[in-house]
């Protein structure tokens, strides 16, 4: 079976997913059409990292709308058994190609989140309806996307759930490789002895609301001085957050580390962390933290959380706080830091969660749904 996937870019988590498909399903010829030339933080394509064929497809954006010139020509050359289009409402060329393929009687699948962070908007609603109408099948990340499609009139038999995951084998291997002595040495070198580490690994963008962590830290540091807040990641809010920290005299309690992509380096921070926090819109970082057994804290937003939120269960592998409430965020962080029994229970359940929501299951779900007759 020849499968062609059309998507904007090739971030590392997509590369890992596609590699796993090829590894598990050697009879599948996988070709990915993506923009591999544009310089973008999410464009992490390297020829040597990919076990699948990649074809460059330019992505032109103007006024928030994307278009993929040459898409139909490239698809005609590929002669795929099934084409999978990423469900991106801003990419008009993909929905046009999907409609054309269905009118020609070809097998075309739409794959994506199928719900909008921040709540529905007219353009995303129209796109989801069109995808549901013309796609042979809609593959969603989680049940929330499936439920949204059903509410828009898409027949249930056309909807499949694939799941979310990272290649957990990489962080799990690093977790096994670290020795207690290595971790103790790292703590000493980093000045973490006697400290509880609150870790955040995420882009410092407004959609993640990192300022709430600063406000929560201000309250926590009034109660105790043995907390260190480590923020790994870059973004448009970094300078603003650093000012907030300085204005409150909390520089000694904060570490702005910038971006770190090396898994070995990250492993030391994760394995010395007591708790992992992303104030809202948590993504695959939830999977990443739980691979190291680090309990997660995020909010209960009904419209700002991404699909990855749905592997979380309050009190089982995470603690959930009330949306926008920095005081409640502080309370939930403190409940993990101060309660060893709770933290150990959450840690064990994090590892169990990852054993279920793993990349093998996601890859098999994806291919099995493409193989099925529908």
Domains of the chain: 2-165+358-371 (3.40.50.2000), 169-356 (3.40.50.2000)
Q: What is the pLDDT of residues 128-140, one digit of tens each?
A: 999 999 999 999 9
Q: What is the pLDDT of residues 292-339, one digit of tens each?
A: 999 999 999 999 999 999 999 999 999 999 999 999 999 999 999 999
Long-range contacts of 285-289, Cβ-Cβ distance < 8 Å, separation of 24 or more: 285/201, 285/202, 286/311, 286/312, 286/318, 287/164, 287/165, 287/166, 287/168, 287/311, 287/354, 287/357, 288/166, 288/171, 288/201, 289/199, 289/201, 289/350
Q: How far apart are the first and last CA of the chain?
A: 16
Above 50 in pLDDT, residue 277? yes
Q: What is the pLDDT of residues 162-199, one digit of tens each?
A: 999 999 999 999 999 999 999 999 999 999 999 999 99
DSSP code, position 47? G
Tell me, what's the pLDDT at 112? 94
SS3 state of residue 60: strand
Tell me, what's the pLDDT at 121? 86
- pTM comes to 0.92
Q: What is the pLDDT of residues 101-124, one digit of tens each?
A: 888 888 999 999 999 888 888 889
Round the average pLDDT of the chain to a whole number and report it. Answer: 94
Q: What is the pLDDT of residues 39-94, one digit of tens each?
A: 776 778 888 999 999 999 998 888 778 888 899 999 999 999 999 999 888 888 88
Count of beta carbons in the 10 Å neighbourhood of residue 337: 20
């Amino acid at each position: 079976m020849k499968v062609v996937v059309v998507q904007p870019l090739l971030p590392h988590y997509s590369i890992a997913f596609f590699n796993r498909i090829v590894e598990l399903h050697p009879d599948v010829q996988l070709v990915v059409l993506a923009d591999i030339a544009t310089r973008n933080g999410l464009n992490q394509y390297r020829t040597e990292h990919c076990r699948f064929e990649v074809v460059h497809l330019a992505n032109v954006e103007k006024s928030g709308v994307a278009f993929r010139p040459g898409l139909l020509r490239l698809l005609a050359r590929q002669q795929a058994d099934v084409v999978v289009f990423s469900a991106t409402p801003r990419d008009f060329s993909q929905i046009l190609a999907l409609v054309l393929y269905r009118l020609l009687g070809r097998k075309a699948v739409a794959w994506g989140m199928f719900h909008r962070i921040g709540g529905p908007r007219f353009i995303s609603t129209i796109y989801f309806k069109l995808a549901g109408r013309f796609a042979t099948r809609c593959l969603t990340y989680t049940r929330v996307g499936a439920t949204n499609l059903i509410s828009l009139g898409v027949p249930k038999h056309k909807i499949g759930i694939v799941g979310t995951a990272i290649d957990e084998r990489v962080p799990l291997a690093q977790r096994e490789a670290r020795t207690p002595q290595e971790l103790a040495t790292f703590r000493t070198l980093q000045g973490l002895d006697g400290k509880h580490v609150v870790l955040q690994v995420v882009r410092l963008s407004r959609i993640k609301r990192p300022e709430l962590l600063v406000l929560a830290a201000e309250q926590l540091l009034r109660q105790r001085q043995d907390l260190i807040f480590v923020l790994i990641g870059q973004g448009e809010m970094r300078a603003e957050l650093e000012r907030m920290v300085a204005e409150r005299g909390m520089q000694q309690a904060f570490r702005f580390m910038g971006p770190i992509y090396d898994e070995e380096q990250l492993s030391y921070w994760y394995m010395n962390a007591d708790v992992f926090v992303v104030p809202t819109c948590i993504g695959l970082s939830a999977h990443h933290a739980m691979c190291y057994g680090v309990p997660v804290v995020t909010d209960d937003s009904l419209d700002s959380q991404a699909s990855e939120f749905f592997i979380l269960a309050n009190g089982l592998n995470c603690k959930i706080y009330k949306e926008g409430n920095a005081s409640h965020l502080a309370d939930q962080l403190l409940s993990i830091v101060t309660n060893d029994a709770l933290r150990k229970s959450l840690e064990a359940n994090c590892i169990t969660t990852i054993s279920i929501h793993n990349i093998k299951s996601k890859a098999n779900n994806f291919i099995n749904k493409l193989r099925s007759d529908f």
